[in-house]
Amino acid sequence: MEYINDTNITQSVPTVVTLGNFDGLHQGHQVLIRLTQQIAEQNGLKSVVFSFFPHPMQLFSKTMFQTILSPEEKRFLLEEMGVSLLVEYPFSQVFADLPPEEFVRKILFQEMRCHTIVVGEDYRFGKNGAGDAALLARIGKEVGVDVITVPFVRYEGEKVSSTAIRQALAEGNLKRANGMLGSAYFVRGVVTGGKQLGRTIGFPTANVTAPPMKLFPPNGVYATRSLIDGEWYVGVTNVGHNPTVQGIKKTVETNLFDFSEDIYGHTIQTFFYEFLRPEQKFSSVEELRRKIAENVMQSKTYFTQQNGKERKNI
54 prior amide bond cis, ω within 30? yes
The amino acid occupying position 262 is D
For residues 45-59, average pLDDT: 96
CA gap 48, 61 in Å, rounded:
28
Answer whether residue 22 shows pLDDT above 60.
yes
CA gap 22, 94 in Å, rounded:
21
Report the candidate in 178, 268, 181, 251 with the shortest Cα–Cα distance to residue 214. Answer: 251
Q: Which residues pair with 159 in a beta bridge?
A: 154
Answer whether residue 288 shows pLDDT above 90.
no
Residue 314 confidence (pLDDT)? 38
CA gap 237, 300 in Å, rounded:
13
248 confidence band (pLDDT: 50, 70, 90)? low
CATH of domain 184-306: 2.40.30.30
CA gap 274, 285 in Å, rounded:
24
Q: pTM here?
A: 0.91
Give the model confidence (pLDDT) of 145-203 as tens digits: 999 999 999 999 999 999 999 999 999 999 999 999 999 999 999 999 765 555 555 68
For residues 123-133, average pLDDT: 92
Given CATH 3.40.50.620, say whether it is the number of domain 12-159: yes
Residue ranges covered by each domain of the chain: 12-159, 184-306
